[in-house]
Amino acid sequence: MILENKLPSIRRAENKHSAFIQNLKVKNSFYEKTFTVISEYTCLKDKLLLKTDFGECKMSSSQLLKGNKPDISTALNKEDYAKKLIEFKTNKKLDYSILKYNGSLDVRIYDGVGECSMSLSSLCLGYIPSIRCAVNKDEYFSSYLKIINKNIDWGKVNILSKYINNKSRMHVQDEKGVYNISASSLLKINSLPWYSALNKEEIYLNNFAKKNIIYKNIEFNNVLDTLYLKCSIHNIEFEQSVNAHSKCYLCCPKCQRLSSYIFEEWSKLRPKNEGIFYIIRCFNENEEFYKFGITCTSVKERYYNNKNMPYNYEIILQIKDKDRRKIWDYEKEFEIIIDINRFNYRPKIFFKGSINECFKVCKEDYIEVINKFRNNE
């Protein structure tokens, strides 16, 4: 081991480079561990070319003899150096490119979506570029939308608002109108929802207005608001939520009962089976109501899974007959007896038949209705 006071004088040495290297080995603990000298020493002021694991660097001989080591600030190609350094620190291949190194607190990156600015230390810790560090958040968000959500033709949609964060509301426009939607929703929706439009009433009528329905009001704030409607055929006034009305085909209760299922079609289903008119009590922890209906199988088969019947139920009444017309007429008669248009009950959980075949009646009225049917058996 060469002691520092025994080191050869670089200035007096015949082979100055050799003397420099001998001094460097003693005075700089990083030599041959993190860098090597690949250019010839001439004088202390001149900069030497160094080889590191992350790229070539240049430093003065005097700085090296003070024990300093090369880093990105001395790299000849700072962008390439930064990339290799980050890959080494994070032990993974970068899927983005380093555009420019402007100092430890400003590394410009392109991550496939847009340009971002991050600190070198954050990148070395494994943090990845995102819209939070985008140089232009509006451009980044617009590009990200086109990549992440291909359900919408963004070429036909104009983004009118500036991006602030994922929770912020943004105005976007298509040929139908202007919509007020959160940035996070824009990333995952399949289409621009009509209920978020600033002119939602106009869009609603254009898309969901029903023939023979008179709209007594068409102002609402959300899909749960009530519409007040009138059937021009049966002169029946009724109410429906905005959402329910958008999904129904024939919305008038009487139209539904008369047109949704004609007898001729029902009579052809399983023609060898008896027809059954039934009344069941449906219940769970929060609700109790009754439902009536007809079937050509059995009540158990009719409600064989939770989708068909999401409530517990018990059979209150069954009337069976080979004559399907009788069963059909029983149902129509029952509607009149309980005045289904007036006492119709809408369960909280939707299932087929829940819209116009459910009711709530007091026990005395209910028994009276059952007895009328039993007398007909």
With 0-12 / 13-18 / 19 or more C-beta atoms within 10 angstroms meaning exposed / middle / buried, residue 166 is middle
Indicate if the pLDDT at residue 34 is higher than 70.
Answer: yes
| 255, 213 contact by CB (below 8 A) | no
Q: What is the pLDDT of residue 315?
A: 92
What the block records as the tokens of 52 is: 């590191």
Question: What CA–CA distance (Å, rounded) separates 208 from 193?
Answer: 13
Sign, Cα dihedral of 229, 231, 235, 238: negative
Indicate if the pLDDT at residue 329 is higher than 60.
Answer: yes
Q: What is the pLDDT of residue 14?
A: 85
Greatest CA separation for the chain: 129
pLDDT digits (tens, 9 = 90+) for 183-224: 999 998 888 888 888 888 888 888 888 877 888 878 888 888
Indicate if the pLDDT at residue 350 is higher than 80.
Answer: yes
377 vs 51, residue with greater confidence: 51
| 84, 71 contact by CB (below 8 A) | no
Alpha carbon 235 to chain centroid, angstroms: 43
Quickly state the pLDDT bin for 252 (edges 50, 70, 90): confident
Q: What is the pLDDT of residue 362?
A: 59
265 vs 111, residue with greater confidence: 111
Q: What is the pLDDT of residue 260?
A: 47
Three-state secondary-structure class, residue 96: coil
Indicate if the pLDDT at residue 6 is higher than 80.
Answer: no
Quickly state the pLDDT bin for 181 (edges 50, 70, 90): very high
The vertex-78 CA angle with 77 and 84, nearest 5°, equals 95
Q: What is the pLDDT of residue 209?
A: 84
pLDDT digits (tens, 9 = 90+) for 142-167: 999 999 998 888 889 999 999 998 88
Q: What is the pLDDT of residue 332?
A: 74
Q: What is the pLDDT of residue 182?
A: 92
Q: What is the pLDDT of residue 225?
A: 87
End-to-end CA distance of the chain: 115
pLDDT digits (tens, 9 = 90+) for 93-133: 888 888 888 887 889 999 899 999 999 999 988 888 999 89
Quickly state the pLDDT bin for 371 (edges 50, 70, 90): low
Question: What CA–CA distance (Å, rounded) separates 241 from 1?
Answer: 90
Which of 19-23, 222-226, 330-334 is the least confident region?
A: 330-334
Indicate if the pLDDT at residue 141 is higher than 70.
Answer: yes
Quickly state the pLDDT bin for 369 (edges 50, 70, 90): low
| 218, 204 contact by CB (below 8 A) | yes
Q: Percentage of residues in the chain with pLDDT exceeding 70?
A: 90
Average of pLDDT values for 285-305? Answer: 92
| Nearest alpha carbon to residue 229 among 218, 245, 219, 214 | 214
Indicate if the pLDDT at residue 137 is higher than 60.
Answer: yes
Indicate if the pLDDT at residue 313 is higher than 90.
Answer: yes
Average of pLDDT values for 271-282? Answer: 91
